[in-house]
Structure 1
Amino acid sequence: MGTSVSTLKTRLDGLCARYDTAEALEKDPFSVVLAYDSPMNREVAAFVAAHLAYGRVDPMIRAVRVALAPLGSSPADWLRTRSGAAIRRELSRALSTWAWRFHTAADLIAWLLAWKQLDAESGQGLESHLLPRAGEGPDDALSRLVQRLRTDLPASYGSRFSLPDPLEGAACKRWRMFLRWMVRSGWPDLGLWTRYPADQLVIPLDTHVARVSHFIGLSRRTTPDGKMALEITESLRRLDPVDPLRYDFALSHLGILGDCPGIRKRSTCAACPLYSVCRAGSESAARIPR
């Protein structure tokens, strides 16, 4: 029999109490974003950090910091007050040895130049480029921007890795993370964008969230794709209709910090708030009752 909504909510609330902490935040790329002080500077930092957020967390955070360092304490002003040619010249020199897994310095420079162009068009960052038009949903707007950037950016592997399309079935983990940071107002997020439909945010689905969500019955799916992200989000909405993504940080950090072994054993799992509702190693986990 499936776990009741109230029981699962209690268990996940306990997980949030454990992981929604400053200590856990230090092991998250979002900690780099919070080092900046103004909304536009945080947006630039988030645009970089979210799209480099893959791989082992400690070297990834170091890569994000090094990537942003040449832009100083005010990256938005730095980009706005330089020509594209000057940006390419200065960053090519400053980041000549920088790389992060699939991303090269050239990919990063193109990404920052894309922000500069989009900001120049809107006059206020990226939010308007991600707002749905009449009759659209948010994923239509995201798809439109992704398709534009696929045309505008160099056809490198790093650039293409940053440009999954939700309308093609992709989970879009890094775009979902960027949107969560910018739109959601609860801890630890920024809530800087007020026009984007916050009630339509989708969980940033990484391997940790996918695995734990399957273990506790938030999704029956085993493939971490766009459909699984939507299914998990809908399950969490039944636990918290107003703020379903408040569980995302805790779910992901249970895996990021290495606290979930993936095999349910009392000796290693009994202290976990999810132990009583976890079905790790079993395909018998049921979704939350509708």
Structure 2
Amino acid sequence: MKARLDGLCARYDTAGALEKDPLSLPLTYDGPLDREVAAFVAAHLAYGRVDPMIRAVRTALAPLGPRPAAWLRDCSEPTARKELSRALASWVWRFHTGADLTAWLLAWKRLDAESGAGLESHLVPAPGEAPDEALSRLVQRLRTDLPASYGARFSLPDPREGAACKRWRMFLRWMVRSGWPDLGLWTRLSAHQLIIPLDTHVARVSRFIGLTRRATPDGKMALEITEALRRLDPADPLRYDFALSHLGIMGDCPGIRSLPSCAPCPLVAVCRAGKR
């Protein structure tokens, strides 16, 4: 299995696949905190069809200019709220509105002001805590601080309530992993602690190749897939995430094992799609 997944990485760990990924937008910024702000926005808007989603993220970040962290730090909160509300008045991405995005960016501003260094310290567990304790604590705080709109609540699943937390897991992967294509900006969490961002593509392919037996794409499935990948790469189990998701994102997995069309796929010999 490891050799087959390594082959999948070789196929999809490419610049062409990265163009179809929201991570491509944070990578256009130079400063570490600017990349963090862009990642905080991009990861939490990462749902729905990829091309319009990337356009929506790009438009969402545009009012912040080339240095979004400096923009947020330099403005007072009332000024930032006024400017963002005006610039994003007509912006929308599916469940999210301009008001939701304004609140999201102001949340980053407040959390950054507390830490003096972005969000990392807010997501690092205390000694003896499980990694998800810090994530749950931050989610519960933001549920109190942010408006009770559908878009805001959509961004705030709690892992302790059994949620897969796909967009938070994606943000953490980007920020913690130093391997391609991730940002590797944070050092107080380790790659081996990460849990896979469970999107529909990862869930489907993982069932096909036996990484999980679960039917429901929830937190338990995310943990089961991650544990299976840890057996293949204990230090960096999420190195396979980009390739697994892009097998679906790029439209290369038909959802049923069919030769010869599936023959080029490195997973074809272990795939049980369409079998009983």
Please indicate, yes or no, whether the TM-score normalized by the shorter chain is above 0.5: yes
Equivalent residue, structure 1, for 2:167: 174
Separation of aligned partners in 1, 2:244 and 2:191: 20
Question: Match of 1:227, as an amino acid?
Answer: K
Separation of aligned partners in 2, 1:227 and 1:160: 21
Separation of aligned partners in 1, 2:124 and 2:191: 11
- Which of the numbers 31, 40, 54 marks the counterpart of 2:47? 54
- Which of the numbers 242, 245, 252 marks the counterpart of 1:252? 245
Contact 2:174 2:184 in 1 (8 A): yes
- Aligned with 1:209: secondary structure? helix
The reply to whether residue 191 of structure 1 matches residue 184 of structure 2 is: yes
Cα offset, 1:149, TM superposition: 0.2
Equivalent residue, structure 2, for 1:79: 72
Equivalent residue, structure 2, for 1:109: 102
Cα offset, 1:65, TM superposition: 0.3
Separation of aligned partners in 1, 2:214 and 2:125: 28
Separation of aligned partners in 1, 2:22 and 2:261: 27
Separation of aligned partners in 2, 1:93 and 1:120: 23
Equivalent residue, structure 1, for 2:119: 126
Equivalent residue, structure 2, for 1:200: 193
Separation of aligned partners in 2, 1:243 and 1:82: 38
Separation of aligned partners in 1, 2:223 and 2:154: 21
Separation of aligned partners in 2, 1:183 and 1:136: 18
Bigger mean CA deviation after superposition, 189-198 or 108-117 = 189-198
Deviation string, structure 1 residues 132-179 (Cα, Å, up to 9, x no partner): 012211100000000000000000000000000000000000000000
Equivalent residue, structure 1, for 2:136: 143
Question: Match of 1:148, as an amino acid?
Answer: R
Question: Match of 2:250, as an amino acid?
Answer: L
Cα offset, 1:222, TM superposition: 1.2
Question: Match of 1:84, as an amino acid?
Answer: E
Cα offset, 1:94, TM superposition: 1.3
Deviation string, structure 1 residues 14-62 (Cα, Å, up to 9, x no partner): 1000000000000000000000001000000000000000000000000
Equivalent residue, structure 2, for 1:3: none
Question: Match of 2:99, as an amino acid?
Answer: A
Cα offset, 1:10, TM superposition: 1.0
Separation of aligned partners in 2, 1:272 and 1:134: 43
User: Stretches of 4+ moved more than 4 A in 1?
Assistant: none
Question: Match of 2:27, as an amino acid?
Answer: L
The TM-score normalised by the length of structure 1 is 0.94
Contact 2:191 2:235 in 1 (8 A): no
Deviation string, structure 1 residues 45-103 (Cα, Å, up to 9, x no partner): 00000000000000000000000000000000000000111112111221121100000
Deviation string, structure 1 residues 96-117 (Cα, Å, up to 9, x no partner): 2110000000000000000000
The reply to whether residue 227 of structure 1 matches residue 204 of structure 2 is: no
Measured on the aligned residues, the alpha-carbon RMSD in Å equals: 0.8
* Matched pairs, number: 276
- Aligned with 1:135: secondary structure? coil
Contact 2:47 2:53 in 1 (8 A): yes
Structure 2 residue runs of 5 or longer lacking an equivalent are none
Separation of aligned partners in 1, 2:257 and 2:190: 38
Separation of aligned partners in 2, 1:96 and 1:140: 35
- Which of the numbers 132, 150, 162 marks the counterpart of 2:155? 162
Question: % of aligned pairs identical?
Answer: 80
Question: Match of 1:138, as an amino acid?
Answer: P
Greater RCO between the two (CA within 8 Å, min separation 6)?
1
Equivalent residue, structure 1, for 2:266: 273
Structure 1 residue runs of 5 or longer lacking an equivalent are 1-7, 284-290
Equivalent residue, structure 2, for 1:20: 13
